[in-house]
Amino acid sequence: MTNKIPGGVPTAYQDTFASDHLPPADALPEFDFTGTPELAAYADHMNVAAELLDNAIGQGFGDNAVTHLVDISWTYRELLDRANRIAEVLTEDCGLVTGNRVLLRAPNTPMLVAAWFGVLKAGGICVTTMPLLRARELQYAIEKAEVSIALCDADLAEEMQGALELTSSINHTLYFSKAGSGGEAATLETACDAKSGQFETVNTAADDVALIAFTSGTTGQPKGAMHFHRDVMATADTFGRYVGTLTPKDIVTGTPPIAFTFGLGGLTIFPMRFGASTRFLESPFPDHILESIQKYKITQIYTAPTAYRAMADMIDDYDISSLRQGISAGETLPGATWEAFHKATGIRLIDGLGSTELFHIFVSAAPEDMRAGFTGKAIPGFRARVVDDDGNEVPAGTPGQLSVQGPTGCKYLGDPDRQPIYVKKGWNYPGDIYEMDADGYFKYVARADDMIISSGYNISGPEVENVLLEHEAVAECAVIAAPDPDRGNIVKAFIVLRDGFDGDDILVKTLQDFVKNEIAPYKYPRAISFIEELPKTQTGKLQRFRLRDLETP
């Protein structure tokens, strides 16, 4: 059936912050659970930790490897033990009650996965953050989600401590090592050592919130996208099952952080749904990816188009015969990149369009159905269409706004202004301009907003502008996406200087370093142009499109 309001089952949470901050019923998209047999069979109660970890033992996966990092491998049974101990620490030592939000901060490591499942087992809500975020960016997420507990990789303690000095929201902070090996700074492992490893997973409602994923928006402030336990499982039973086609023999790797829902799904949720394992990378560089595929017999990889383009030029030096699938997302996969990788490897890359708001990919195609230059079709469980500004479907070959419906949908955390921008008349609008051909294949045209997508990272132009304006040399500035052959786009800033400052190479580097020190380094402007004045309307509104026109070849 299709229903406007999810589930309706009473929450299992004592702390009702998340459900209290869901959009009202009339602002939600329509949720459809009839698209696949798996979706239709979902029960009213569901916990991701029980589905993916507890149940793995009964399915016979207990002694299977689940996660690898360098020479360390954990089995499903070992991961379960660690997650149980973390759940005990959270509830017994930190006072977590169901529905509390827990900040997770770490690169992709086995202990981050254990912490993520520990939070869910205890009935908490995961707020996983990018490891590159600075203190003030962490502060925003902490205060927006009213986080009270933080679990952080010991190597990232400096910015975490900086965030703690900016906010009083956090009551308990524990640090951990990458693979649970302990050490003087690993206070979480020390606490876990005193626990039993036995914990009964909280029986959450299927539409209790499991995680809040923050993503930058065009206003410069991150948006918190809330996802139910059911949402997380639905992505595994749509893309993971019907496009990824994973089996227990698969070994998956990839570059996106687990803090991105693209990485969380591809590197944790999908493999574990089918008893497979994931090898985390120490380095995201293409040569290291290829070395890992060769050494560890990787079968499936998730990364951005720029990495596939680079790997295509290096492939002759490596044996990657074990690789059967490559999944690309984060930005559109150029036809030339698809062709180059296919020519070099014989592998038909899978392009995928997804969003943080819908959790993962909803438009894609199986390898045998992929067409170079096209993203694909709506995957099983979802439906998509191209519409005009009034929501009417447009003819084949006509550009328009992409709109999507399925088992997942946008649920912004306490954001009544932006919820109706993303959800209109029950449909999700990801903000992309597409056209659809007569066969139902979708072809990317452009972004409909000012988001900059560079090497798979979503970067808000206004956020970078706000930081630049804090520097004493900057009077005015505008940030846009400038085309780049290697990264797809780069961040470019146009700056009007204050009197007394010279726009030379020294100032360029000074401003770039300034941005790197204030927000995540990947957001810094790789190109800066100094200009006399910014183009504006008669009412003083900045005309970014005129700056973008300057960058169009």
- In angstroms, the CA 386 to CA 94 distance is 48
pLDDT value of residue 537: 54
Strand partners, 153: 176
Q: In 3-state terms, what secondary structure has residue 112?
A: helix
Q: What is the pTM of this model?
A: 0.87
Which of 54, 86, 103 is CA-nearest to residue 203?
54
> What does the pLDDT look like over 517-530, one tens digit per residue?
999 999 999 999 99
Among 162, 183, 202, which residue terminates a domain? 202
Low-confidence ranges of the chain (pLDDT < 70): 1-8, 216-220, 449-450, 537-541, 553
**Residue 8 counted as domain residue:** no
**Residue 329 counted as domain residue:** no
- In angstroms, the CA 138 to CA 162 distance is 9
- In angstroms, the CA 432 to CA 258 distance is 24
**Residue 92 counted as domain residue:** yes
Number of domains in the chain: 2
- In angstroms, the CA 114 to CA 121 distance is 10
Among 202, 228, 256, which residue terminates a domain? 202
**Residue 81 counted as domain residue:** yes
pLDDT value of residue 453: 86
pLDDT value of residue 476: 87
> Residue 182 sits in a domain of what CATH number?
3.40.50.980
Among 157, 176, 202, which residue terminates a domain? 202
For 53, the token pair is 């970890």
**Residue 479 counted as domain residue:** yes
pLDDT value of residue 111: 97
Q: What is the dihedral of CA 79, 84, 88, 90, to 10 degrees?
A: 60
Range of the domain at 120: 48-62+72-202
- In angstroms, the CA 175 to CA 153 distance is 5
pLDDT value of residue 416: 94
pLDDT value of residue 306: 82
For 294, the token pair is 């060769």
**Residue 374 counted as domain residue:** no
> What does the pLDDT look like over 342-376, one tens digit per residue?
999 999 999 999 999 999 999 999 999 998 888 99
pLDDT value of residue 219: 42
Q: DSSP labels for 150-205?
A: EEEEGGGHHHHHHHHHH-S---EEEEE-TTS---TT-HHHHHHHTS-S--PPP--B
**Residue 404 counted as domain residue:** no
3-state secondary structure 132-153: CCCHHHHHHHHHHCCCCEEEEE
Number of C-beta neighbours around residue 282 at 10 A? 12
CA-to-CA dists, residue 529 to 72, 471, 503, 511, 515, angstroms? 47, 16, 8, 12, 15
> Residue 468 sits in a domain of what CATH number?
3.30.300.30
**Residue 386 counted as domain residue:** no
